[in-house]
Amino acid sequence: MEDINGLIPENKVEYTEENIRHLDDMEHIRIRSGMYIGRLGDGSQNDDGIYVLLKEVMDNSIDEFKMGAGKKIEITIEDNLRVNVRDYGRGIPQGKLIEAVSKLNTGGKYDSKAFKKSVGLNGVGIKAVNALSSQFEVRSYRDGKVRIAIFEKGVLKSDVTKDSEEENGTYIFFEPDNTLFTNYSFQSNFVETLLRNYTYLNTGLSIIYNGQRIISRHGLEDLLNDNMTAQGLYDIVHLKGEDIEIAFTHTNQYGEEYYSFVNGQHTTQGGTHQSALKEHIARTIKEFYNKNQEYADIRNGIVAAIAINVEEPQFEGQTKTKLGSPSMSPGGVSVNKYIGDFIKTEVDNFLHKNSLVAEIMLQKIQDSEKERKAIAGVTKLARERAKKANLHNRKLRDCRFHLNDSKGKELEAESCIFITEGDSASGSITKSRDVNTQAVFSLRGKPLNSYGLTKKIVYENEEFNLLQAALNIEDGIEGLRYNKVIVATDADVDGMHIRLLLITFFLQFFPDLIKKGHVYILQTPLFRVRNKKKTSYCYTEEERIKAIDELGPNPEITRFKGLGEISPDEFKHFIGKDIRLEPVSLRKTDLVKELLEFYMGKNTMERQNFIIDNLVIEEDLAS
């Protein structure tokens, strides 16, 4: 008997009552963790599961603050492994403490009166933390009593109630299960970003993180000031209404940059509210000037943030990174109309009252329009050239996710593209990759140094034009086809130079690609140390020395000078589940203009002296 694919099954599998089993809540979360927290990961990326666990604990404490209970939250992370969170809210009702942390679909957030515009996962979040932790402890302090429950991998081990003199509130301790989150470590920069976002959206809230106090007094205005890496052309416009807050300014950087939040949740993939912000801010500004302006020119260089509160929000996906709600409340006004009405009134009023800002904004829009028209002809030809280039065969070896899936423009956590140089390196990665989620883009030689050039060069330069088309970022990173853009170059001087040239290109024309955490550097081993019994791949000199000591006398030592020297059979180990990626990050303190001018600008005496002072001779490295 053939199956639906025309294949004859080798073995007939019995299907009886014994095959039917029931999983309790904790078992189900552990076996189907992706349904609850998305990817697992090791903490090296900001969307890894351990940060979702921290967020779920924090969300409950934030909800207490929103209800007017407790203005301080204390977080301590021990050895980047174990998390302690103490809030000073009302404390979980002690009679239902065990159910609240271990039974799905149990929680106070189903009561819309108590948690009308809640942050948390409505009866799921804290249970996932419990189930996915090797150790989990919850304490509820209420009215002179404390109930303490201790779990291991979701299984209750201890439950006691006793007198207490501590303030009301909740304490949570959890240690993620390292059999699930292999070799995990909380990265302080990711944690701090998460916590700062909470304070921007909850002015007056004080978060104490490992002894450091984090607080915001000006909400989204503080968020923009802390995250902008280019100077604003005018003071940030900051406007508030009932259930809505926006802030924006323009800079001289290319592209658009947005931060959006719903009920305190950072919607990194945007959604209906972010789309409404983009649409209505451009429309309102255009109507204010009453000129035939393109929306793209109005938004070019804009940096903006929006936060709204929605009753019973609908998100696309369990981890809530994209808002799908069409309305502000069930049966209520649409999100688009609510935001549109607010922006139309408040932004228009602001521009009428602040003529200097209006003048600066108009000049920026006109400059963007002038540049767009200057390259209009080049742009059209470049688009046609990109279409004719037959990317899939010539430059881009795409992954099946995009070739076969109708949701090709959606970001998927595992989708990535390797940008590499040369036929040998490209060939090794292509033969080793996971064809379902990993694509390869091959450069021809070193890319152009784009520092100081206008965006016209993106369309005139074939490499940049085809790369832009492959990533689908011409109109902004919302169309980005891959969650990770991985620069994969040789670990030598030429490889480092190519890295710098590519990062310069992204910083110049698509800075949001780096700010949103999409750009990475692939780490590949420098050495292979092996004997007849064991092979060790070493990424540093220290690892090489350790491997030699472990393998004993006279092991074979190979120094990899280029990616093309690594066989495809070996290469698959370096881009598989144990892939090592170094994120390219961008912070407020990174003065992009100054950095690019120093390292990629004219060859000044200052830079020559820097090179001389930091020169390392190859013989020194080998000794």
Q: Which amino acid is at 589?
A: T
Give the helix, strand, coil percentages of the chain, each rounded to 5: 40, 20, 40
pLDDT of residue 409: 39
Q: Which amino acid is at 467?
A: L
Q: What is the pTM of this model?
A: 0.80
pLDDT of residue 319: 59
Percent of the chain surpassing pLDDT 90: 39
pLDDT of residue 406: 40
Average pLDDT, the chain: 83
pLDDT of residue 481: 87
Query: What Rg do the C-alpha atoms of the chain give, in angstroms?
Result: 27
- Altogether, the residues listed in the chain come to a count of 623
With a cut of 90, say whether residue 355 has pLDDT above it: yes
Name the pairing type of β-strands 133-142 and 145-152. antiparallel
pLDDT of residue 411: 44
383 C-beta neighbours (distance < 10 Å), count: 15
561 C-beta neighbours (distance < 10 Å), count: 12
CA–CA gap between residue 326 and residue 318 (Å, rounded): 18
Over the stretch 37-49, which tens digit does the pLDDT of each residue have? 777 888 888 888 8
With a cut of 90, say whether residue 77 has pLDDT above it: yes
With a cut of 50, say whether residue 7 has pLDDT above it: no
CA–CA gap between residue 217 and residue 24 (Å, rounded): 45
With a cut of 60, say whether residue 321 has pLDDT above it: yes
Beta strands in 312-432 (DSSP E): 396-397, 416-421
Are 511 and 592 in contact, with CB atoms under 8 Å apart?
Answer: yes
pLDDT of residue 110: 47
Q: Which amino acid is at 51?
A: Y
Over the stretch 227-269, which tens digit does the pLDDT of each residue have? 988 889 999 999 999 889 999 999 998 889 999 998 888 888 8
376-524+562-591 — its CATH code? 3.40.50.670
pLDDT of residue 115: 53
Name the class of domain 220-373. alpha beta
With a cut of 80, say whether residue 26 has pLDDT above it: no
204 sits in the region (left: phi over 0; alpha: psi -120 to 50; else beta) called left
> Taking Cα atoms as reference points, which of 197, 310, 195 lies closest to residue 243?
310
Residue spans per domain, the chain: 25-214, 220-373, 376-524+562-591, 527-559
CA–CA gap between residue 440 and residue 421 (Å, rounded): 10
Here the tokens at position 233 are 């052309």
CA–CA gap between residue 347 and residue 246 (Å, rounded): 10
Are 83 and 73 in contact, with CB atoms under 8 Å apart?
Answer: no
Q: What is the DSSP letter of 607?
A: H
Q: What is the DSSP string of 70-130?
A: -SEEEEEEETTTEEEEEE-SS---GGGHHHHHHSTT-SGGG-TTTSTT--S-SSSHHHHHH
* Position with higher pLDDT, 295 vs 618: 295
Q: What is the DSSP string of 455-509?
A: THHHHHSHHHHHHHHHHT-TT-GGG-S-SEEEEE--SSHHHHHHHHHHHHHHHHH
CA–CA gap between residue 244 and residue 262 (Å, rounded): 9
* Position with higher pLDDT, 165 vs 414: 165
The topology under which CATH files domain 25-214 is Heat Shock Protein 90 (3.30.565)
Tokens 């090797």 map to which residue? 134
pLDDT band at 188 (very low <50, low <70, confident <90, very high): very high
pLDDT of residue 1: 42
pLDDT of residue 620: 44
